Amino acid sequence: MANGNNNINLKNPPLSGSDNNNKNRAAAAKRRKVSAGDKAFTICNTIFMILFVVITLYPVLNTLAISFNDGTDALRGGIYLIPRKFTLKNYITVMQKDNLITGAYITVLRTLIGTLLALVTNAILAYIVSRKEFIFRRALSLFWVITMYVNGGLIPTFLLYKNLHLTNTFWVYVIPGTISAFNMLVIRTYMNGISESLTEAAQIDGAGYTTIFLKVISPLCKPVYATIALFVAVYQWNSWFDAMLYNRMSDQYTTLQYELMKLLSSVTNQGTSAEAMKNAMGTVTPTSVRAAATIITMLPIICIYPFLQNYFVTGLTLGGVKE
């Protein structure tokens, strides 16, 4: 196929691509003297980034410190970056939660399946509404845009899922909400930016819509696919409300976050009576358990992130993609 050539041209591995990118820029820069303005810009930018890192890192480090600090001691406040009374108790408490392993298993499963499903469906829909010649292009876009701003409410939604026999099943996590207009529109915008000459060339070669989607558009959309995959994966990973609402009585479909939420609300200090408070309090406190649970939740995402990051930080060389 003729567009194969195009593909080959595009196939620069991301890392070397960025090297080229930097080299090109560096070469260009050498051609003239680096202006004083540029230098000042670099310095200011570096200072700004350092400040930004300090400000955003602080709450995370603070949470980390509290997660390793004795709960009762932490009630006194004044813990910043280093635990005052070190303990692993908070993590042990979290780890000993019943059903945690089932929850983790279901959560990983829903993250995988949910992300794949969402990626495929949103990409297909985005592709359809990005075709300028599609007859229902505007109508279909409007149909989906509206879904972002309307909401039937808790009870009607619950009844719908119940009637569809989605409650007390795993599928209630991944089937509803797999297409989100937001994600779809982000992909569509990216697709709109891809030069029409590429699709036209493929069309001349006799490629149909499906082929163009799979062979021409999708390979170019990796950065945006990676972005959406990240969004959906994080959403799936953090979800617990659906588990509580639709699978309250089905322990086998509990999720990690729901178990953590249950643990957290069981040590909550929001008790409104002596009974509730006596039930709730132990050697750990809501603050300390929350800190430990937060760190445990964040870890896997921090570990997977660098892989995804390749797609949207190190600039890809997509020669001739833009119009």
Partner 1 sequence: MKKKLLSVLMSMVIAASLAACGGAGSAEGAGAASGDGAQQASATGGSGEKEFTAFFAVPGAEINDDNEIQQMIADKTGVKVKETWLTGQTAEEAVGTLIAGGEYPDFIDGGDGMKQLYEAGALVALDEYIDKYPNIKSYYTEQEWDRLKQDDGHIYWINQFQNIKGKDTTCTHNDEAFWIQTRVLEWAGYPEVKTMDQYFDLIESYNEANPTMEDGTANIPYTILCDDWRYFCLENAPEFLDGYPNDGSVIVDPKTKKVIDYNTTDTAVKYFEKLNDEYKKGIVDPESFTQTYDEYIAKLSTGRVLGMIDQWWDFAFTAGDAIKSAGLDEKGCMYVPLPITISEDVHNQWHNSGGVLNVASGLAVTTSCDDVEGAIKFIDDLLGQEVHNLRFWGVEGVDYEVDDKGIFYRTPEERTNAADTAYKASHLCTYSYFPQWLGTSDDGKNANMPSDQPGEYYDSLAGKVKDCLSAYGAKTYVDMLGTNEAPGPWYPMYSYSNNLTTDTDAGVAWNLMGEVKHEYLPKVVMADDFEGAWDEYMKAYNNCKPEDFLAAMQTELDRRIEEAAKFQ
Partner 2 sequence: MKKKTKIDLNTIKKQKALLIWGGLLTIYGFIFYYLPLTGWLMAFQNYKPKDGILHSQFVGLAKFVRLFSDVTFLKVIRNTLAMGVINLVVTFITAIAFAILLNEVRSNFGKRTVQTISYLPHFLSWIIVTGILHDALSGTGIVNDILMKLGIVDQGINFFAHTQYFWPIVAFANVWKETGWNAIIYLAAITSIDPALYEAASIDGAGRWAKILHVTLPGIKPTIIILLLMNVGNVLNAGFEIQYLLGNGLVQSVSQTIDIYVLKWGISQGDYSIGTAAGIFKSLVSIILIVLANQIAKRSGEERLF
Rule CB under 8 A: which of 24-43 touch partner 2? 24-25, 28-29, 31-32, 35, 37-38, 41-42
CB atoms closer than 10 angstroms to residue 93 = 19
End-to-end CA separation in angstroms for the chain: 22
Residues of this chain, 40-59, that bind partner 1 according to CB under 8 A:
none
With b for 16 or more beta-carbon neighbours within 10 A and e for fewer, the 225-236 pattern comes to bbbbbbbbbebb
Q: Compute the least distance from the CB of residue 168 to partner 2, in Å.
A: 18
261: Cβ–Cβ under 8 A, 6 or more apart, which residues? 240, 244
Does position 56 interact with partner 2 (CB under 8 A)? The reply is: yes
Does position 194 interact with partner 1 (CB under 8 A)? The reply is: no
Helix/strand/coil (H/E/C) assignment for every residue in 279-306: HHCCCCCHHHHHHHHHHHHHHHHHHHHH
* Token digits of residue 165: 């026999």
Does position 245 interact with partner 2 (CB under 8 A)? The reply is: no
Beta bridge partners of 69: 86
Does position 230 interact with partner 2 (CB under 8 A)? The reply is: yes
Residue 309 contact among partner 1, partner 2, none, beta carbon within 5 to 8 Å by kind: partner 2
Helix/strand/coil (H/E/C) assignment for every residue in 4-44: HHHHHHHCCCHHHHHHHHHHHHHHHHHHCCCCHHHHHHHHH
Does position 265 interact with partner 2 (CB under 8 A)? The reply is: no
Residues of this chain, 163-202, that bind partner 2 according to CB under 8 A:
164, 175-177, 179, 182, 185-186, 189-190, 192-193
Piece of 1-9, 94-102, 226-234, 277-285 that binds partner 2 (CB under 8 A): 226-234
Residue 120 contact among partner 2, partner 1, none, beta carbon within 5 to 8 Å by kind: none
Distance CA 100, CA 91 (A): 13
* From candidates 108, 109, 124, 304, binder to partner 2 by CB under 8 A: 124
Q: Compute the least distance from the CB of residue 296 to partner 1, in Å.
A: 13
Residue 69 phi, psi dihedral angles, 5° rounding: -110, 145
Residue 31 contact among partner 2, partner 1, none, beta carbon within 5 to 8 Å by kind: partner 2
Distance CA 316, CA 322 (A): 13
Pick the closer one to partner 2 by CB: 33 or 278: 33
Does position 59 interact with partner 2 (CB under 8 A)? The reply is: yes
Residues of this chain, 257-316, that bind partner 1 according to CB under 8 A:
258, 261-263, 265-285, 287, 300, 304, 307-308, 310-311
